[in-house]
A and B are shown apart, each in its own frame.
Chain A
Amino acid sequence: MRRPRQSLAGDRAAAYLTLSPSVFLMLLLTGVPMVTVILTSLQKVGMGETSGPFVGLLNFRWALSNHAFYSSLGHTFVWVFGSVGLEMLLGLGFSLLLNKKFRFRGVARAVIMAPYLIPSVVAVLVWRYMFHDLVGVINAVLVGTGLVRTPVLWLDSANNAMMSVIIVGVWKFFPFVVIALLGILQSIPREQYEAAQIDGASPFQQFWRITLPHLLPVFLITALVRTIWNFQKFDIIYLMTGGGPLDATTTLPVLIYFKGFTDFQFGRAAAVAILACIVLGLIAAIYLALIKFAEKRL
């Protein structure tokens, strides 16, 4: 009895030993920065400093009583739910389309992935050029066909800037949703549709009663992932508009960047980052509850 027990303990030790490099690396890469941010948020840290006087929750009080925080939070919600909503809608539509049999389907599937593969900087430069009020192709077409009289200020008007950024974000990331949903669509047994056809279900009923229930869990998980990623999105927004005009596209990540690297108030930047993290956590919790509900139904 003793020998196996011993060897079991030995196995366990070996397991921990072999795991330890990964655990160490994880702690280094996620634990250390997290602790650093929390510590920084409790201090007044200025330009060129890595630490400063302890100020308690003062940075949080500043953030929660500041208009910039709430307006950025509002912009973040518009950006996140605007783009995720459209990405999911387009992703669903195109995945259903690409699941149908037609000629050149393989080519179409490859082409639709292209935006996802283009580097953000390149994509943004091209889109900025297309959005340009004087030389951009979009205005050229709109004015040329007489749809608008004067060029639209896509990026330089506080009313349009967020919409323009969302268009670019959706264009770039909806292929991700297509990939995720197409995988599920292809795994639904053909017989379920055939049985439904024989039973007299219309195409719409087949979609509603077979396709959608199969898709729902992955649809929600994809929406969650896209929400998290868009919540943190910085590059596209900053490169498109720099957060402007008049802060109209300043989302929380952009605000954090400004606080840290324009105003050099690292304590405040860290406090905003932690608040953003909490908000994101709440949103994720809602999603997870939904996913759990959906999976229980399946």
Chain B
Amino acid sequence: MAQVEVRNVDKHFGDHTVISNINLKVNDGEFLVLLGPSGCGKSTLLRMIAGLELPTGGDIFIGERQATRLQPKDRNIAMVFQNYALYPHLTAYENIAFPLRVRRAPARDIEEKVKWAADLVALGGKLKRKPRQLSGGERQRIALARSLVRNPEVFLFDEPLSNLDAKLRNASREDLRQFQARLGVTSIYVTHDQVEAMGLGERIAVMEAGVIRQIATPEEIYLHPADTFVAGFMGSPPMNLLKLTDYTLGFRPEEFLPQTSFAPGVETMPFDVKVNRIEFLGGDRLLYGTVGGALPETPVIARLPSSVAWTGTAGESAKFAVARANLRYFAADTGKAIAPVGTKGRVHA
């Protein structure tokens, strides 16, 4: 077991900066997710921790060791790739045994370890098959078993679930989490899927354009996004952002409810919304609308649980509001979260 620390790491490819001055500390046994849109540098960061890329500047520590320039094999890490990187000519058994074979482990150890790893991922019966005779989920589990047999100190996952279909992905996510919790191995997991990130991560590092925008627990990131990028990236649909002259106002679609649904005494900020479209999703409805009037005209989304009574139709104007406690404020220039701005009065619509 080991903690992983990334200090002031930069990565340039020629003139192109992929990672700029990243600092990150992953605690011993923690499950940390690197989340961001494609091209944000999350995979490059993971590959530098693995030793498959060298940083242009900065240091990487694994456990107590300075690992920046260590060979991948000397870092005591294991990595699961998006396409699993299984060897097509080897059986599942031999694929799992590969890390031990190349290290010339004794035959008895190999047998014991492979059996142990295969049982752990529930793949016992299919060890004689070649990867192409196995399903996507089974291949993914072979890749996982292969990463286990060396008792790595750190697991690195590079979007290991994105090649699976949606249903299987949910099941695998659950398996993966339980499995990591049982082994307690420090894990760093790269994904662009926020649902996966929220479900798996003890903490999430949200990245954009080579920079970490926020590192926090899923709750913290969802409830208190550090800036407008995180606010607009997390959540589906994401946080509504209203650009006012002095600051940007943010609120989650599910906090944006008909004025009438608030209990008396709750301090709210009301808005006049022109409802453009309503989507019925079963458990709730999505209202696509526009706030305007004195405010700059901005599209907003409200998510109404079916339990909230509201009978409006598309094309109408309606009174919606947000509890003041659920409003978030961001600086107009930097987009960073700021303390609530004392606007006692009503924002006129």
Contacts and interface: CB of A to CB of B under 8 A. Distances in A.
A293 B87 CA distance: 18
Given A192-B87, A297-B89, A200 B103 contact: yes
A86 to B, nearest CB: 27
Interface string B78-121: 11011101111110000000110011000000000000000000
A200 B89 contact: no
A199 B81 contact: no
A211 to B, nearest CB: 11
Interface residues of B, number: 25
Contact of A197 (B73, B82, B87): B73
Q: Which label, helix, strand, loop or mixed, suits the secondary structure of the B interface?
A: loop
Most chain A beta-carbon neighbours within 10 Å: one of B78, B88, B90: B88
A199 B73 contact: yes
Interface string A97-115: 0000000000000000000
Interface string A197-211: 111111001000110
Contacts of A192: 85-87
Given A209-B98, A209-B102, A198 B50 contact: yes
Interface of A: 189, 191-192, 194-202, 205, 209-210, 213-214, 297-298
Interface of B: 50-52, 71-73, 75, 77-79, 81-83, 85-90, 98-99, 102-103, 146, 150
A297 to B, nearest CB: 6
Nearest to A213: B89
B99 A200 contact: yes
Contact of B99 (A191, A199, A202, A298): A199
A205 B81 CA distance: 20
B284 to A, nearest CB: 40
Most chain B beta-carbon neighbours within 10 Å: one of A194, A198, A297: A198
Contacts of B81: 191, 194-195
A197 B79 CA distance: 10
Most chain B beta-carbon neighbours within 10 Å: one of A195, A196, A214: A195
B102 A198 contact: no
B134 to A, nearest CB: 15
Most chain B beta-carbon neighbours within 10 Å: one of A191, A192, A200: A200
